[in-house]
Amino acid sequence: MLQRLLRKKFCQTTTKSSKQVPTRRRRKLQEDNSTRYADLRPVSFMDSIESGVEKFPEFANQRSNGADFQLGIVGPILGVQKDEEQAEIDCLHDSIMMERHGAHSAQENQARKVLHASEQRFTPIDVGQNVLMPIPCVDRPKIGPRNLLGIITAVTDGFYSIGRQNGHLRQTFTRNQLAPCGAEFFSINSIPDGETSLRTVVGASSISGSQGHAHCLCLSGCTTNRCASRKKSLLCNSRCHHARTSTNK
């Protein structure tokens, strides 16, 4: 029963491909049990056989009348096609992996060249030497220096720790951020043990204070310590309390 259903389905899938062959000729070839399948399926027979093999593998080696069908050419061709496709995929995969390894090696070589050029341009700085470091724009006040003096207190894996009279800075710096000074302004013995931030050090060393400006929004005349300016021992200016009258002037 299963063979009949498969035979019926197979005949339906291959009927369209055999329209180019006359009915009498096709019937004659079937009666003679001809194995010349090229005469039975002229052009699209290969596609029909290939689709039939994929869908009905149990019926791939049989004819419509139950006799064995010789697929001595189609079978090897299908196998060769699959082998060629697999070989092409393997070759493409190998070429991709080769390009990836080549790109990885090129990046490593480029990194080594950059490090070598940086080492030649920026010589190492010894501990205890005074340096000049730039102040970031976000930490620099409106009126203040662009650079800050410090002293090298430690070197760890190419990162430099800086000390000031206010203490040791929490952040570390790379070699290209520092410029050695010819004179000595600080000594390691004068650096306290505490830690501080760069913005605090910049504000303490600037004559205009830290970043931004201090102002108050008082409405009562700035008579108590609730006033931000009076609490910091500063006089009110034109930015305070929207130019209202104040006693802290």
pLDDT digits (tens, 9 = 90+) for 166-216: 889 988 998 888 999 888 888 888 888 888 888 888 888 776 666 666 678
Lowest mean pLDDT among 94-98, 139-143, 185-189, 193-197: 139-143
Residue 94 within a domain:
no
Q: Is the pLDDT of residue 42 over 70?
A: no
Instruction: Among 62-76, 133-147, 171-185, name the most confident range.
Output: 171-185
pLDDT, residue 83, reads: 77
If asked whether residues 57 and 17 sit together in one domain, one would say yes
Q: Is the pLDDT of residue 38 over 60?
A: no
Element (H, E) at 15: helix 2-15
Structural domain boundaries enclosing 182: 130-205
Backbone angles phi, psi at 205, to 5 degrees: -90, -5
Instruction: Summarize the confidence of residues 132-151 as an average pLDDT.
Output: 83
If asked whether residues 154 and 201 sit together in one domain, one would say yes
Residue 77 within a domain:
no
If asked whether residues 134 and 197 sit together in one domain, one would say yes
Q: Is the pLDDT of residue 249 over 50?
A: yes
If asked whether residues 40 and 15 sit together in one domain, one would say yes
pLDDT, residue 161, reads: 92
pLDDT, residue 51, reads: 42
Residue 174 within a domain:
yes
Residue 124 within a domain:
no
Domain count within the chain: 3
pTM: 0.45
Beta-bridged to residue 162, according to DSSP, are 152
Residue 229 within a domain:
yes
If asked whether residues 18 and 55 sit together in one domain, one would say yes
The span from the CA of 179 to the CA of 89, in Å, is 56
Residue 190 within a domain:
yes
If asked whether residues 152 and 196 sit together in one domain, one would say yes
If asked whether residues 190 and 249 sit together in one domain, one would say no
Residue 91 within a domain:
no
If asked whether residues 160 and 179 sit together in one domain, one would say yes
SS3 content of the chain, % helix, strand, coil (to 5): 45, 15, 40
Residue 147 within a domain:
yes
